[in-house]
Structure 1
Amino acid sequence: MQSLHAILAANKTGQQRGLYSVCSAHPLVLKAALLQAKQDQSPLLIEATANQVNQDGGYTGMAPTDFIAFVRQLATEVGFNEQQLIFGGDHLGPVCWQYLPAAQAMAKAEVLIAAFVAAGFEKIHLDTSMPCADDPAVLSDEVIADRAAQLCQVAEQSAATKGRAGSLCYVIGTEVPPPGGVAELEQGIAPTSVASVKATLQAHKQAFAAAGLAAEVWSRVIAVVVQPGVEFDNSQVHAFDADKAHDLTAFIQAEPGLVFEAHSTDYQSSMAYRALVQGHFAILKVGPQLTFALREALFALALLEQQLIPASQSSALVTTCLALMAEKPQHWHKFYRAEGAELVQLQLYSYSDRIRYYWPEPLLQQAVARLFSNLRGCTLSQPLLHQFLPQHTVPESVQSLTTDPEQLVIRHIQRVLARYAKACGFQQQELQQ
Structure 2
Amino acid sequence: MKHPIKEILDKRKQGINSGIASYCTANNIVIEAILEYYLEKDEYVLIECTANQVNQFGGYTGMTPADFRDYVYDIADKVGFPKDRIILGADHFGPLAWADKSESEAMKNAKELVRLAVLAGYTKIHLDTSMFLGSDDTSKKLSDEIIAQRGAELYKVCEDTFLERIEKYPNSIHPVYVIGSEVPIPGGEYKEKSNLEVTSPQDFENTVDTYDKIFNEYGFEDFWDNIVAVVVQPGVEFSNEDVHDYDRTDSKELCRKLKEHPNLVFEGHSTDFQFKEKLKEMVEDGVAILKVGPALTFALRESLFSLSLMEKELIKNGTERANFIELLDNTMVTNPKDWKKYYHGNELEKELQRKYSFSDRSRYYISRNDLNLCINRLFENIDSHELTLGLIKQFLPNEYIEIRKGNLTKEAALLVKFSINNVLNDYKYAIEK
TM-score interval w.r.t. the shorter chain? Answer: over 0.9
Q: Distance in 2 between matches of 1:315 and 1:287?
A: 26
TM-score normalised by L of structure 2: 0.95
Q: Any idea what the Cα deviations from partners look like across 1:246-272, whole Å, max 9, x if unmatched?
A: 111111112131010000000111110
Pairwise CA distance, 1:186: 4.7
For residue 340 of structure 1, the aligned residue among 335, 347, 350 is 347
| 1:325 alignment partner AA | M
Q: Percent identity?
A: 39
Match of 1:261 in 2: 267
SS of equivalent residue, structure 1 residue 184: coil
For residue 272 of structure 1, the aligned residue among 271, 275, 278 is 278
SS of equivalent residue, structure 1 residue 191: coil
Q: Within the alignment, does 1:103 sit opposite 2:109 as a pair?
A: no
Q: Distance in 2 between matches of 1:198 and 1:389?
A: 47
Q: Do the aligned partners of 2:403 and 2:409 also contact (CA within 8 Å) in 1?
A: no
Q: Distance in 1 between matches of 2:232 and 2:408?
A: 42
Match of 1:201 in 2: 208
Pairwise CA distance, 1:408: 1.0
| 2:325 alignment partner AA | V
Q: Distance in 2 between matches of 1:395 and 1:364?
A: 28
Pairwise CA distance, 1:86: 0.8
| 1:95 alignment partner AA | L
Q: Give runs of aligned pairs for residues 229-240 of structure 1, distance below 5 A.
A: 229-240=235-246
Q: Do the aligned partners of 1:336 and 1:346 also contact (CA within 8 Å) in 2?
A: yes
Match of 1:251 in 2: 257
Pairwise CA distance, 1:333: 1.1
Q: Distance in 1 between matches of 2:298 and 2:175?
A: 32
SS of equivalent residue, structure 2 residue 30: helix
Q: Give runs of aligned pairs for residues 156-175 of structure 1, distance below 5 A.
A: 156-163=159-166, 167-175=174-182
Q: Distance in 1 between matches of 2:91 and 2:15?
A: 27
Q: Within the alignment, does 1:385 sit opposite 2:388 as a pair?
A: no
Pairwise CA distance, 1:226: 0.2
Match of 1:290 in 2: 296
| 1:160 alignment partner AA | L
For residue 148 of structure 1, the aligned residue among 151, 157, 168 is 151
Q: Do the aligned partners of 1:302 and 1:317 also contact (CA within 8 Å) in 2?
A: yes
Query: Can you give the 5+ residue segments of structure 2 that lack an aligned partner in the other structure?
Result: none
Q: Within the alignment, does 1:373 sit opposite 2:373 as a pair?
A: no
Q: Do the aligned partners of 1:122 and 1:167 also contact (CA within 8 Å) in 2?
A: yes
RMSD: 1.6
Query: Greater shift after overlay, 170-179 or 355-364?
Result: 355-364
Q: Within the alignment, does 1:350 sit opposite 2:357 as a pair?
A: yes
Match of 1:90 in 2: 91
Q: Do the aligned partners of 1:12 and 1:280 also contact (CA within 8 Å) in 2?
A: no
Match of 2:225 in 1: 219
Matched residue count: 425
SS of equivalent residue, structure 2 residue 162: helix
Q: Any idea what the Cα deviations from partners look like across 1:257-312, whole Å, max 9, x if unmatched?
A: 10100000001111101100000100000000000000000000000000111211
Pairwise CA distance, 1:397: 7.1
Q: Do the aligned partners of 1:43 and 1:84 also contact (CA within 8 Å) in 2?
A: yes
SS of equivalent residue, structure 1 residue 181: coil
Match of 1:132 in 2: 133
Q: Give runs of aligned pairs for residues 382-421 of structure 1, distance below 5 A.
A: 382-395=389-402, 398-421=405-428
Query: Greater shift after overlay, 370-379 or 256-265?
Result: 370-379
SS of equivalent residue, structure 2 residue 401: coil
Q: Do the aligned partners of 1:166 and 1:217 also contact (CA within 8 Å) in 2?
A: no
| 2:398 alignment partner AA | Q
For residue 314 of structure 2, the aligned residue among 308, 319, 331 is 308
Q: Do the aligned partners of 1:261 and 1:283 also contact (CA within 8 Å) in 2?
A: yes
Q: Do the aligned partners of 1:185 and 1:231 also contact (CA within 8 Å) in 2?
A: no
Q: Any idea what the Cα deviations from partners look like across 1:67-122, whole Å, max 9, x if unmatched?
A: 11111121122222222111110000111011111110000001100011100001
